[in-house]
């Protein structure tokens, strides 16, 4: 069921990003661990996007590590994130804000689907 939820979330976010005038490119190679979508923000900055699931507090540490890896792999890009979680967007921001700030990671887009 989680793969289906991730797919539905990704489709929703693709539509949302297009509405916000992001230019999108699908990663056709789909290498394990690499973002499946990249593009350019409305302000012309490159970004990469991925969808994650984080059900428990301890999974946020792993999530931050994945985001750091993505940022290291794409150092000139912002990061866009879709997240399936039982936590609210406010709780997610509290969990992610400090670790991402410490590593200089800028989220250009965050969509949280809580209570899935």
Whole-angstrom distance, CA of residue 92 vs CA of residue 61? 12
Task: Let me know: does 67 contact 81? Beta carbons within 8 Å.
Answer: yes
End-to-end CA distance of the chain: 11
Query: What's the pLDDT tens digit per position in 46-93?
Result: 998 888 888 887 788 888 888 898 889 889 989 888 888 888 888 888
Q: What is the pLDDT of residue 2?
A: 65
Which three-class secondary structure state does DSSP give residue 84? strand
Question: What is the share, in percent, of the chain residues with pLDDT greater than 90?
Answer: 10
Task: Let me know: does 51 contact 10? Beta carbons within 8 Å.
Answer: yes
pTM: 0.77
Task: Let me know: does 8 contact 14? Beta carbons within 8 Å.
Answer: no
């Amino acid at each position: 069921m989680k793969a289906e939820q991730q797919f539905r979330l990704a489709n929703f976010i693709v539509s949302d990003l297009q509405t916000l005038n992001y230019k999108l490119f699908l990663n056709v190679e789909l290498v394990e661990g690499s973002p499946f979508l990249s593009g350019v923000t409305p302000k012309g900055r490159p970004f990469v996007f991925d969808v994650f699931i984080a059900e428990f507090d301890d999974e946020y540490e792993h999530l931050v590590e994945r985001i750091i890896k993505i940022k290291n792999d794409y150092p000139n890009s912002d990061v866009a994130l879709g997240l399936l979680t039982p936590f609210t967007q406010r709780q997610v921001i509290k969990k992610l804000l400090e670790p991402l700030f410490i590593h200089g990671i800028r989220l250009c887009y965050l969509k949280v689907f809580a209570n899935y």
